Amino acid sequence: MELSVYNIEGKDTGRKVNLSSNIFITEPNDHAIYLDVKQYLANQRQGTHKSKERAEIARTTKKLKRQKGTGGARAGSMKSPLFKGGGRAFGPQPRDYSFKLNKKLKQLARKSALGYKLQANAITIIEDFTLDAPKTKTYVGMIGNLQLAGKKTLMVVGDSNKNIYLSSRNLERNKVVSASSLNTYDIMNAQQIVVSEKSLTLIESTLA
């Protein structure tokens, strides 16, 4: 499939790029996307949650009441989970939520996500550009020129350009990533993907 190449003024340059059907696959694999997104979100979790069990509670160890004759259940410590202020039974403990996925499955997931975006006409190709200084106004103007104002946009650049990143980081619905950092979650989370020509070459070489 061919897409037109635009410049940062939003004008058609007259050139076209041919998207490889091996990368932007026409039959996406939903389960691969699910697993890759699940792993991405799991890896973001700190896993530092912790509640105190009865052995960690600082309360008196005195026996509350006599063992027999009260008509109630036996009770030997205020640390019991049955009492207010006692330790929690089976509470959360620090853990690592990350898990492993095969490299080929992750590649399939990214290809599937890109295929969905291509089917939805949610991919825009722009020629390579740089910003001399970080300026949010310039970045907003470029997004407006591409008729993408108000949309959740993912900008994929060839190299990690600091000025482009700094120009966009204050914008709530815009994100800039390098081609090497592109992941399935960011692709699926964006309404429109803006891909530079250089980054397109890098994506195809990575996922080939």
Q: Is residue 96 part of a domain?
A: no
Same domain, 22 and 106: yes
pLDDT tens digits, residue range 92-144? 999 999 999 999 999 999 999 999 999 999 999 999 888 889 999 999 999 99
> Which stretches within 45-173 are classed as H helix?
103-119, 136-145, 162-168
Q: What is the pLDDT of residue 21?
A: 85
Same domain as 74, residue 119 = no
Q: In terms of domains, do 175 and 117 share one? A: yes
For residue 132, what are its two tokens?
A: 């001399």
Q: Which domain holds residue 117?
A: 2-46+101-207
Angle between the N-to-C axes of helices 103-119 and 197-207, in degrees from 0 to 180, rounded to the nearest 10: 140
- DSSP assigned state of 133: S
Q: What is the mean pLDDT of residues 55-66?
A: 90
Residue 2 has pLDDT above 90, yes or no: no
Give the model's confidence band at 22: pLDDT under 50 very low, under 70 low, under 90 confident, else very high: confident
42 shares its domain with 64: no
Q: Mind listing the pLDDT tens digit for each residue in 154-168? A: 999 987 778 999 999
**Domain count of the chain?**
2
Residues 28 and 80 reside in one and the same domain = no
CATH value at residue 158 = 3.40.1370.10
Closest-CA residue to 188 (of 125, 126, 124, 110): 110
Q: Judge whether 165 and 176 are in contact, CB under 8 Å.
A: yes
User: pLDDT at position 60, please?
Assistant: 87
Q: Do residues 71 and 161 both lie within one domain?
A: no
Q: Give the Cα-Cα-Cα angle 138, 177, 140 (nearest 5 degrees).
A: 20
Average pLDDT, the chain: 92
**CA-to-CA dists, residue 84 to 56, 57, 67, 106, 163, angstroms:** 15, 12, 20, 47, 55
